[in-house]
Amino acid sequence: MASKELFPYLPPPPKEIPSGVVPIKAEPGKGCDSVSERLMPNFNQMNRPRPGVKGKKIHLLTNYFRVCFQGGISQLYSYNVNILYENGDPVTGSNLIRKVIHKLWEIYSSELGEQVFASDGQQSLFTTSLLPQKKLDFTVVLDAATSKRCKTDGNLSGDGELSEGDQKRQKIISRFKTFRIQINFVSIIPFKTMPDGNHGVKSRNNEVLIALDTILQHSNAKRNCLLLRQSYFPNEMKNFMELTGGILGCRGFHSSFQSVQGGLYFNLDTSTTTLIQPGSLVNFLMANQNVETPFKIDWTKAKILKNLRIKLLHSDREHKITGLSNRTCKEEKFLLRSRGSNNQNDNGQTVELTVYEYFVRRCGIELGYSSNLPCINVGSQHKPQFIPVELCSLVPLQRFKKELSLHQRSLLVNNSSQKPIELMKHLNEELKANDYNTDPMLRACGISINKSYTEVEGRVLSPPQLRVGNKENLASRFSRWSFNGKKFADPKSIEFWAVVNFSSGHDIRAFCIEMAKLGAMRGMHIHPPSFVFEENAKHKKKPGSVRVDKMFEQMISKFRKDPPRFLLSFLPAKFSNLYGPWKKKCLMTFGIRNQCIAKNKVDETYLANVMLKINAKLGGLNSMLSAEVSKTIPLVSKVPTMILAMGVTHAPSSRSDLPSVAAVVGSRQWPMISYYRASTCIQPPKTETIHSLFRPVSDREDTGMIRELLMDFHASSGNRKPEQIIIFRQGLGESQFKHVFSEMEEIIKACKFLDETWSPKFTLIVAQRRHHTKLFQANSSDNIPPGTVVDTKICHPLYNNNFYICAHAARVGTSRPIHYFVLLDEIGFSSDTVQELVHCLCYVSQRCTSAIYEVAPIRYARLVSAQMLEIMKTEGPELPMLHKNVRDTMFFC
């Protein structure tokens, strides 16, 4: 029986049965398929399947470093810390919290036992021994800022003192803030619950891991690094990458302790983030808006500055930007009282000055271009403090949280990627530079970190054989294949279609000729387009939705009630403001399959990839697994089996007005596993659990996403219901696995709603790509070969069947495997069969001629939700239903 600690989300036990009540015995298959009951056996360590044996063995290294315990204390002590301002408001900034706690330890070190500690910058505090009392209360006064007055002061709130001495002498004024600190004992964390690494992990103590990770955070905070969860970014020039637009990429590191099957290990990997370019605020805005002089800056687009921190060049004080002035520096006025009283009823004389006059005449600071520009407000809306822009400098290590452009993303990927040998060297250098073995907390715990990469045994699975046109089998080479001299497995023709041109940089006629030639080589018969629609030049500067509407008006006048079956549209740029309106109009209003082209110079490789997408969108199939045709996929080909993939895509933080998009794709035309259909819905922002899987609106009608896919499977698979359903769920961390349980309940309800007696078997697999496990060949500087799988030593200790697999050959940087967790397996896969199924599903993507790093249905779910989100970015937060003409197509390819 699973422990309560493992299942905090399970329902409570039933109440005692009243006397005189005889329980009804449950019939087999009825009322016994709750997700909790199905999952419990999966956590029984005795049921762990044997590791896989198929494939060629390979000797690997991984970025896990063994942790050794050598004496030291046997336990840590956990405390909860609340820090309050004088007025009782809680302190929330992690940097300030760390400064206050550090000051507390400086002042009261003797009272606190002169021991070492670690803080997470929030409310958790860990110590190596008990504090004197379980509840402690302290008061700390922190020197918040030291700054110079007169020539260097920029406080323009109207409360300044005006006297003859102001311009002749300087005063050093220290601002002090008082904080109240409450410390409460929480628990004792024993290290002996962590096993010896030589004997493997039998249990997982998250409290110990949290405490150890907090020690790492505390250590990196002392180095003045930018901290993002377990990643840290030192302020060093060598780590910065220019991304244009005033944005920098920043290289850093991820460090954490991992409890795995082989024991306790230290995981070190590289990490990247994006930063605002430090230095002159005006220079940043000029770079961000791509203008040459400060006078061309569009200040209506300067909202990006809000909440950024600046340092004043004339005082060295730091402030947070709250807004901009409505007028220029020469025009913005304020009242400066001649007496230093803050009393609003004071009748002392006041002087009205402009910001420019104050700084030039009263502070003796020369101002140049900023006199005719808006000022920066570092006060509040009701009590502003205005600073000329040329006196403002952005402080380093401030995150850029908005979405990067395609060009910026490309630069970030290219500049941050490292070959395996470079990455290993980089990690070795960091291990030496940041010697964790000298950290006082880790030393007190008796923890030392081995600096050698951990050896692990892997296996390389054989690639599946592919089937293309004319019943030819095709072998991949290093996870890639070519259609040269080959035809598509199921090519489709394009007869009644049109071209729409929103761009002036394309040779439409030449493109159509080349497309027809290449299509004929692939088995597609492509007629010349029925019409070519050119955008009217007078509409080019109008909003994207207006331009699309005008284009459809032009098209409707030609086609009237018979729209084309396919549209090829040329856009000026990928994801331009035309993309969302165009996709919405095609997919939701008219139900026309379409392909967008956003590249002026089209070469043969680009055109070949476009043809793959077009054929798939038209209902064709480019390639498939030979095992699909021969019906030899273990456990899948013999029994009607449906494959589902689910995921949620969230809008960027800069678009809080947009909902999240959930997508589910389901396989169709069993025994095939290469055809898929998609269903989408919107849900509240940042919500990870999918809510609309089962949505009954009456006793007989269900409008949920699962019903739609089940009905389609039934109709396309010879009126067979799936007896087995394999579910892939992406985007969840270990702490979020509980979301899958409620989703599983909804899927079971959707099945029962269609047929009460129907009880398909389920296999539930979670795919994680956001992890920091890297694998290297022990005897080569190349990337690990495609098909590499690892299911021992560095895998999770509690989930019975989990493994890493890298199906693709990385073209850039170092390969990153996907971590798969089999949370439920009623179908009965062995380690080998489930690994081979996952491996094969990486070869069925219709968008490319190579294996991809994740199973194709998960990639499709991600593509669907991303496309719907792009539509909402320009068309608003509502998402209309897909047109019936495209619902059962792979429009997302």
Residue with tokens 């070492």: 116
- Poorest-pLDDT segment among 166-175, 351-360, 675-684, 797-806: 166-175
* pLDDT tens profile 807-848: 999 988 999 999 999 999 999 999 999 999 999 999 999 999
Smallest CA-to-CA distance from 274 within 614, 601, 654 is with 654
Residue 93 has pLDDT above 60, yes or no: yes
Give the pLDDT score at 154: 39
pLDDT band with cut points at 50, 70 and 90 for residue 763: very high
pTM: 0.89
* Angstrom distance (rounded) from CA 825 to CA 76: 39
Residue 713 has pLDDT above 60, yes or no: yes
* Angstrom distance (rounded) from CA 250 to CA 666: 39
Give the pLDDT score at 149: 32
DSSP string, 415-442: HH---HHHHHHHHHHHHHHS-GGG-HHH
The pair of structure tokens assigned to 427 is: 């990690």
DSSP string, 463-524: PPPEE-GGG-EE--BTTB---TT---SB---B-SEEEEE--SS--HHHHHHHHHHHHHHTT-
Domain 624-773+817-875: CATH architecture, name and number where available: 2-Layer Sandwich (3.30)
Smallest CA-to-CA distance from 593 within 726, 498, 687 is with 498
Give the pLDDT score at 503: 87
Mean pLDDT, rounded, for 527-536: 94
- Poorest-pLDDT segment among 13-22, 78-87, 682-691: 13-22
* pLDDT tens profile 417-467: 999 999 999 999 999 999 899 999 999 999 999 999 999 999 999 999 999
β-sheet bridge partners, residue 233: 226
* Helix/strand/coil for 804: strand
Residue 145 has pLDDT above 80, yes or no: no
Sheet holding 454-460, edge to edge: 676-683, 660-667, 641-649, 724-730, 761-768, 818-825, 801-806, 788-790, 454-460, 56-62, 775-777
Give the pLDDT score at 349: 78
pLDDT band with cut points at 50, 70 and 90 for residue 28: very low
Give the pLDDT score at 735: 86
CA dihedral 599, 604, 610, 613 (to 10 degrees): -160
Mean pLDDT, rounded, for 715-733: 96
DSSP string, 344-398: TT----EEEEEHHHIIIIIS-----GGGGSEEEE-S-SSS--EEEGGGEEEPSS-
Q: Which CATH superfamily is domain 279-394 in?
A: paz domain (2.170.260.10)
Residue 172 has pLDDT above 60, yes or no: no
Smallest CA-to-CA distance from 111 within 138, 84, 85 is with 138
Give the pLDDT score at 315: 84
β-sheet bridge partners, residue 766: 729, 821
Considering the domain 491-617 in this protein, what is its CATH number?
3.40.50.2300
* pLDDT tens profile 210-236: 999 999 999 999 988 999 999 999 999
The answer to whether 127 and 134 have CB atoms below 8 angstroms apart is no
Give the pLDDT score at 173: 35
The answer to whether 645 and 659 have CB atoms below 8 angstroms apart is no
pLDDT band with cut points at 50, 70 and 90 for residue 153: very low
Residue 13 has pLDDT above 70, yes or no: no
Strands 531-534 and 497-501: parallel
More confident residue, 74 or 792: 792
Give the pLDDT score at 340: 52
Q: What residue segments make up the domains of the chain, in order of their start?
A: 72-193, 279-394, 491-617, 624-773+817-875
Share of the chain above pLDDT 70, in %: 88
The pair of structure tokens assigned to 655 is: 């678009």
Give the pLDDT score at 602: 84
